[in-house]
Amino acid sequence: MIQCQECQTDTIVKNGIGPEKQRYQCKSCSGNFIIADSGITTLQPS
């Protein structure tokens, strides 16, 4: 289960593909993050 690192909810949607990784967006806080081999990396809000 993917969870937002900011608010720990699982209301996550796919938000396109980054350079190498699947990008996701939290529907609760609108935070963007990617799933890397080493774990979840939060991206700065745009």
Which residues in the 1-46 window bind Zn ion by CB under 5 A? 4, 6-7, 26, 28-29, 31
Considering the complex, state which of residue 6 and residue 18 has its C-beta at the smaller distance from Zn ion.
6
Is 43 exposed, middle or buried, given 0-12, 13-18 or 19+ CB atoms closer than 10 A?
A: middle
Considering the complex, state which of residue 7 and residue 40 has its C-beta at the smaller distance from Zn ion.
7
Nearest approach in angstroms of CB 10 to Zn ion is 9
6 CB-near residues (< 8 Å, 6+ apart) = 26, 29, 31, 42
Binding site for Zn ion (CB under 5 A): 4, 6-7, 26, 28-29, 31
